[in-house]
Structure 1
Amino acid sequence: MAHTTSDDRQDSWQEALHRKISRRLLPLLLICYMFAALDRVNLGFAKLQMSQDIGISEAVYGLGAGIFFLGYVLFEIPSNLMLTRIGTRKTIMRIMILWGLTSAGMMFVQDVTSFLVLRFLLGVFEAGFAPGIIFYLGYWYPAARLAAPTALFMLAGPISSVLGGPVSTWIMTYLDGAWSLAGWQWMFVLEGLPTVLLGFVVWRTLADSPVQARWLSDAEKAQVTRDVDAGRNPQGKHEFRQVLRDRRVYGLALSYFFLIGGMYAVIFWLPTILADNGIKSITAVGLYSALPYAASIVVMIVLSRRSDRRGERRLHSAVPAIVAAVAMAVAAFTTDNLPIALTAIVISTACSWGSYAVFWSMPSSHLSGTAAAGGIALINSIGLVGGFISPMLFGWLKEATGGTLVGLLVLVGMLLASGIGIAATRIPAASADGVHH
C-alpha cells in the first residue's frame, strides 16, 4: 500500500492553490485581452468596406494598421514603469476605458487624416496592456509554471480571431445602413464600448498582488510569495538601467521584432488575401479567416504545457517559428490554389502563435523586481516596431507589385530570422524546484 508523504501533500496543496489562482484571474484577463486583440483583427474586415467609403489606398491602409504600434511603442515603457508605482488595477482600468472609447470613435473616420490619427491614438491608449499583464502574472506564478498561464492569457488573440471574423462580418453585413451608419461603423461601436465596461469590472475585482487578494488565506499568500521568490533567476536584473545593458534582452527583443512582424502582417492582411484569392462574400471571408486561429488555440495549449513539463523554453519557441516560415513560403507560391495556400497559412499562423505563447515565459524568468516591468516593456516595444513596419511594407509591396508574393516572402524571412534569433539566445530555464539550469 502506497503511503502519502508530507512532500506529496505539499505538492497537492500547491497544485490546488495554482488552480484556484488561475480560476480567479485568467478568465477576466482572457476576456479583456480578447477585446484588445479584436481591435487589431477587426480593422482587416472593416477595410473591405471602409476603403471605398473614405478613399484609402492599400499603402495608406498598411500605414494605418502599423501606426497603431508606433503609438504603442512610444508610451509602453512609461506605462509599465508607472504600473509598478500605482498598481495593476488602476493601470489596466485606465488603459481599457481610453482604448474602448477610441476604438468606438473609429466610427467617425471620414478621411485619411482622421483614420491615421485615431489609429495612432488607439496605440497610445492601449500601450502597456499586454506586457503589463505578463508582468502581473509573474506576481502569481513561479517561473517554472509560467508558460501555461501565459499561453492561456495569450489564447485571447486566436480566440478573438475565431469569433471576431464571423461576428465582425455579420455586423458589417446585417447592420449596414441601419440608422444611416455603414456596417463598419456599427462594428467599431459594438466591439469598442464593451471594453469601457470591462475597465470598471477590472477596477472592482482585480487584486494588485497576492498580498492584497481577499480570496487567499494568509497561508496561501505566504506560499505564493515563497514559490515566486524561489523561481526567480538569481542572476536576474533588478534595476532598469542594468536591463538596458543586457545583451540577452536585446537578443529576445530582436527575435520578437521579427516574430511580431510576421504575425501581424497576416492578422491585418488575411481578409484581403482571401478576398484576392476568389472569396468575394464578406461573411465567407470571416468564416475562412477563423480557421488559422482555431488551429492556433490547439498548438498554443499543447506547446506551452509541453514546455512547462520539459522545463525548456528556447526550442519550444524557436522551432515553431521556423516551421511557420516554411509554411508561409508554401503559401506564397500557391496563391492560385486556395486549398493548399489556406492550409499553409493555417499551419504558419498556428506555429507562429505557438512560438509567441512560449516566448513570453523566457524574459519573465530571466528578469526580476521592477526591472521585469521595464524589461518586458522594452522587449515588447522593440518587437512591436515589427508590427509597425510589416503591415505598412506589405501594403506598399502589394500596391507596387499588384500581388502578394513579394510581401509573403518578406514574412518568410522575418519568421525565419525570429526562429534563428530565439534559438541563439540562451535564457536559463527554471525547473519545478525553482532552480535555474
Structure 2
Amino acid sequence: MSSQSPRVRATQDRTLGAVVRKVTWRLIPILLLMYILAFLDRSNLGFAKEAFQADTGISNAAYALGAGIFFLGYAAVEVPSNIIMRKVGAKIWMARIMVTWGIVSTLMVFAHNEWIFYLLRVLLGVAEAGFFPGVILFLTYWIPLNYRARVNGLFYFGAPLAFIFGGPLSGALLDMHGLFGLTGWQLMFSVTGVITVIVGIIAFFYLDDGPHKAKWLSTGERDALLAELAIEDSAKEDHSPKGSIRALTNPKVLYFAAIYFTIQMSVYGITFYLPSQIAALVGTDVGLEVGLLTAVPWGFALIATFVLSRLADSSGQRRLIATCALAAAGLGIVLSSVFDNPILGLAALSLGAAGFISVQPVFWTLPTSFMLGAAAASGIALINAIGSLGGFVAPVAKTWAEGAFGPDAGLILLAIIAFVGAAMIWASTLISPLIKATDGRDATGAFAAIKEK
C-alpha cells in the first residue's frame, strides 16, 4: 500500500470514501434513532425528578441512588452481552436489547415507592447493557479508522438530539398530567418505552451483521471496504490483546477504561441535573419552557461534534482534539457553578455539553485502533462498563461534595475529574504503539507501513 503512486492511492480513497458514505447513510439513521431512545430512556428521569419525587415521596438521596444504580446493572452485563453479540450477530442481539429495555422503561409507571424504583432502574440497566459497546464494535466491522471519528460523531448526535427533541417532548408529557388517568411522569415513561419496542422490531429486519452480508453493496464496493479493513486488522494482530479474557486484564484496555470513567463522570453528573439547573437559572418549574431551554446546550454539542469529529479524521489529530474537547467540558462545568446570570449560565452549560459530547466519538477511535476480534468485543465492553460506573458515582459524589464543602463543590469536583481525563488522553501515545504510529497521520498508510516492517 505504501509503495502505490499518489494517483492510484487518491483514486482508491475516492472509491472507498463513496462506499463509506453509502454505508453511513444506510446504518447511521437507524443506529441514531436507537441511541436517541437509549439516552432518553435512561436520562428522562432528570425531567421527571421534581414531579416524580412529589408524587411518590422519594427523597433526594433515594433519587440519586436510583439515578445511579442503573449503571450497576448496566456495567455488570456489558462484557457478556458484547461477546454474545459477536457470536449471534448484531441484528438479533440489538433488537433483543431494545425490546427488553423498552418493556422495562414502560414498567416505570409502577415505580410508586423507592424499592420498586431501585429494582426497575437496575433491570433497565441490565436490559440496555451491551447496546452502546455493541454499536461501537459493530461500526468497526464497517468503518475504517480514517473515517471512524466522523461516523462515530454522527452516531453520537443521539445524545444531543435526545434532549433537543426529547426535552420538549418530556416537558410536554409532564404538562399532560392526568391524561388517561396517568401522571405526567407515567405518561413520559410509557410513551418512550412503547416507541423503543417498535424501533427494536424494525431494527431486526433492517440491520446486517457485516459487509459480507450486505446485499445493498455491490461486489466491488464490498471488496473495497473489506480490503481496507483487512489492512487495519492485519496491523493490529501483533498489538491487540489475545482473546476476550486477556483483554479484560490488559493494561492498555484498563487505561482507556479509566479515561472513559472520567468522561462519564462529567456527562452524567450534569445530565441528571441539567433541567433543575436551568430551572434555577430562569426561576421556574421544570416543564415545557425548561424543556425548550435544555435544547440550547445540546444544539451547541451537535455543532461541536460535527466539526471536531471531521477535523479529527481529516487531520489525524485525534488525540489532541479529544484532549481539548474534554478540557473544554471541565471549563464549562466550572463556569456553570460561577455564573448566576441566565445567559452566562446557559453559555457555560453549552460549553460543557459541547465538550463532553464531542470528546466521545473521537475518544473511541483510540482504543479501537489496536484491538481486534474477540479482544475488541470484550475490551470495548469493559471500557464502556467501567466508564458507565462513572454514571453511578457522579450523582453520589456531586451530592457528597455539596454537603461537605458547599453548593458549588460538586461541579468543581466533576470539573477536576474532567481535567484529569484530558491529561490521560494526551498521554495515551505512551501506552500504545499503534496510537503513536497513527497520531497525526493517514491511518491506512501507517497501518500498511507497520505491517511491511
Alignment TM-score, normalising by the size of structure 2: 0.91
Name the structure 1 match of 2:227: 226
1:91 equivalent among 90, 93, 115: 93
Q: Which amino acid aligns with 2:357?
A: W
- Cα separation, partners in 2 of 1:7 and 1:331, compared to 1, 3 Å: closer
Supply the AA of the counterpart residue of 1:182: T
1:414 equivalent among 414, 417, 423:
417
Q: Distance in 1 between matches of 2:259 and 2:352?
A: 17
Distance of 1:170 and 1:404 partners within structure 2:
30
Alpha-carbon shift at residue 139 of structure 1 (Å)? 0.5
Question: Does structure 2 retain, via aligned residues, the 8 Å contact 1:237–1:369?
Answer: no
| 1:61-83 Cα deviation digits (max 9, x unpaired) | 11111111111000000000111
AA at the equivalent of 1:352: F
- Is the partner of 1:433 in helix, strand or coil? helix
CA distance in 2, matches of 1:286, 1:75: 32
8 A Cα contact 1:142 1:434, kept in partner: no
In the TM superposition, residue 48 of structure 1 has moved relative to its aligned partner by 2.2
1:43-192 → structure 2 map (5 Å cutoff): 43-173=45-175, 175-192=176-193
Q: How does 1:381-396 map to 2 (within 5 A)?
A: 381-396=385-400
String of CA shifts for 1:76-129, please: whole Å, max 9, x gaps. Answer: 000001111111111101100000011111111111111111011000000010
Whole-Å separation in 1 of the counterparts to 2:378 and 2:283: 44
Counting only pairs closer than 5 Å after superposition, residues 365-404 of structure 1 correspond to structure 2 as 365-398=369-402, 400=403, 404=407
Give the structure 2 partner of residue 435 of structure 1: 446
1:264 and 1:201 map into 2 onto residues whose CA distance is 29
Matches within 5 A, 1:308-387: 308-334=313-339, 336-387=340-391
Q: Alpha carbons of 1:33 and 1:259: their partners in 2 closer, same or farther (altered >3 Å)?
A: same
1:327–1:368 CA distance, 2 compared to 1 (3 A): same
Q: Quick one: distance in 2 between partners of 1:59 and 1:217?
A: 56
User: Residues 403, 119 of structure 1: CA spacing in aligned structure 2 closer, same or farther, 3 A cutoff?
Assistant: farther
AA aligned opposite 2:333: M
Distance 2:323 2:170 in 1: 33
CA distance in 2, matches of 1:339, 1:22: 37
Aligned residue type for 1:214: K
Post-superposition offset of 1:411: 1.0
Q: Whole-Å Cα distance in 2 between the matches of residues 404 and 192 of structure 1?
A: 35
Report if aligned partners of 1:231, 1:434 keep a CA contact under 8 Å in 2: no
1:294 positional shift: 0.6
- Looking at structure 2, the residues matched to 278 and 111 of structure 1 have their Cα atoms a distance apart, in angstroms, of 31
Partner Cα separation in structure 1 for residue 361 and residue 443 of structure 2:
19
In structure 2, distance between residues paired with 1:187 and 1:241 = 40
1:404 and 1:120 mapped to 2: Cα distance?
Answer: 29
Counterpart code for 2:188: M
Once residues 318 and 120 of structure 2 are traced to their aligned partners in structure 1, the CA distance between those partners, rounded to angstroms, is: 37
Instruction: Report the Cα offset of residue 29 of structure 1.
Output: 0.5
Equivalent residues of 1:58, 1:396 under 8 A apart? no
* Match among 247, 250, 269 for residue 246 of structure 1: 250
In terms of mean alpha carbon deviation, does 233-242 or 24-33 score higher? 233-242
CA contact (8 A) 2:164 2:298 kept: yes
- Conserved? CA contact 1:77–1:374, under 8 Å: yes
The Cα shift of 1:185 comes to 0.6
1:271 and 1:202 map into 2 onto residues whose CA distance is: 31
Q: Which amino acid aligns with 2:366?
A: M
1:134-160 CA-to-partner distances (Å, cap 9, x unmatched) read 000000111221111111111101111
Decide whether aligned partners of structure 1 residues 210 and 434 sit closer, same or farther in structure 2, where only a CA change above 3 A counts: farther
| Partner residue, 1:297 | 302
Indicate conservation of the 8 Å contact 2:266/2:329, yes or no. no
Indicate how the Cα distance of structure 1 residues 396 and 111 shifts in structure 2: closer, same or farther if over 3 A, else same.
farther
Indicate if the aligned counterparts of 1:259 and 1:352 stay in contact, CA closer than 8 A. Answer: yes
Is 1:276–2:300 an aligned residue pair? no
The offset of 1:269, in angstroms, is: 0.7
Amino acid at match of 1:77: V
Amino acid at match of 2:187: W
Query: May I ask how many residue pairs the two structures share in their alignment?
Result: 431
Any stretches of 5+ residues in structure 1 without a counterpart? none
1:8 to 1:414, Cα distance in 2 relative to 1, 3 A: closer
Q: Distance in 1 between matches of 2:123 and 2:253?
A: 28
TM-fit CA distance, 1:11: 2.7
Q: CA shift at 1:401, angstroms?
A: 6.2
Q: Secondary structure at the match of 2:185?
A: helix
Aligned counterparts of 1:314 and 1:8: Cα–Cα separation in 2: 25
**What runs of 5+ residues in structure 2 fail to find an aligned partner?**
1-5
CA distance in structure 1 between the partners assigned to 2:21 and 2:282 by the alignment = 46
Please name the residue that 2:427 is paired with.
424
Structure 1 residues 6 and 417, CA gap change in structure 2 (3 angstroms): closer
User: Equivalent residue of 2:165, what SS?
Assistant: helix
Partner of 1:196: 197
What is the distance in 1 between the residues matched to 2:124 and 2:221? 39
Give how far 1:180 is off: 1.4
**1:18 & 1:247 partners in 2: Cα distance?**
32
Distance in 2, Cα, partners of 1:187 & 1:96? 17
Secondary structure in 1 matching 2:215: coil
Q: Aligned pair in 2 of structure 1 residues 404, 274: CA closer, same or farther (>3 Å)? A: farther
Q: 1:182 to 1:319 in 2, by over 3 A?
A: same
2-side partners of 1:182 and 1:279: how far apart? 23
The 1-side partners of 2:215 and 2:158 are apart by 27
Q: Within 2, Cα distance between the matches of 1:30 and 1:358?
A: 17
Describe the SS at the equivalent of 1:195: helix
Displacement of 1:236 in angstroms is 2.2
Distance in structure 2 (CA, Å) of the matches to 1:90 and 1:383: 25
2:311 corresponds to which residue? Answer: 306
